Structure 1
């Protein structure tokens, strides 16, 4: 089972990967939205913002997300690490229910090119 530190590192790596993208992906990532990522097996949530193509984590709280972020992710820590490491395909994991993504319709359309 991935640790809190491994999950935070995976989110930082994902943020770095987003920041290095260009073209359509960079444009899609270049918006400002509140974000939460609930790590279900650790029962903790990273909260922050997706701003200008970077994920800025502002807090880590025990339990489910304390509020309703505009972009909400939920998955196990191992799935987060595997997703960022390229070992887990987002589309298949989402379709099978391993990863939950909730956002408004417009945000989902923009996020589609990122994932």
Structure 2
């Protein structure tokens, strides 16, 4: 089990990796969405926002507007770190029950293109 700090560092790395996606791909596949990433074994949730110009840094406090996230991920801390480091494939984790995603079908298809 990883720590909250290690999960925060992994999410920061994910933000950096997202910056490496081409502007063309982001323009095709990204629409603005609020994100929630719940780390089940730590009982902590990180909140972020994805948009065409990037992925905002994740925070442990919900957005001030109080609107719920459109894309919600639930996973264990070690799985988060393994996925961000490229050691665990998102598709395999999803179909193996290690990651749960609550999002519309359209959002799932768009995100799949980016992962």
The answer to whether the superposition gives a TM-score over 0.5 is yes
Unaligned runs of 5+ in 2: none
Q: TM-score, normalised by structure 1?
A: 0.84
1:93 aligned partner: 93
Contact 2:3 2:77 in 1 (8 A): yes
Contact 2:11 2:58 in 1 (8 A): no
1:17 paired to 2:17 = yes
1:50 aligned partner: 50
Q: 1:28 to 1:103 in 2, by over 3 A?
A: farther
1:7 aligned partner: 7
Structure with more of its chain in strand, by fraction? 1
Distance 1:11 1:102 in 2: 18
2:41 aligned partner: 41
Unaligned runs of 5+ in 1: none
Q: CA deviation at 1:71?
A: 0.6
Distance 2:58 2:12 in 1: 12
Q: 1:67 to 1:39 in 2, by over 3 A?
A: farther
Q: TM-score, normalised by structure 2?
A: 0.84
Contact 1:35 1:72 in 2 (8 A): yes
Q: Secondary structure at the match of 2:60?
A: strand
1:109 aligned partner: 109
Distance 1:107 1:5 in 2: 28
Q: CA deviation at 1:58?
A: 5.5
Q: 1:69 to 1:94 in 2, by over 3 A?
A: same
The 5-angstrom pairing of residues 46-85 of structure 1 reads: 46-52=46-52, 54-57=54-57, 59-61=59-61, 68-85=68-85
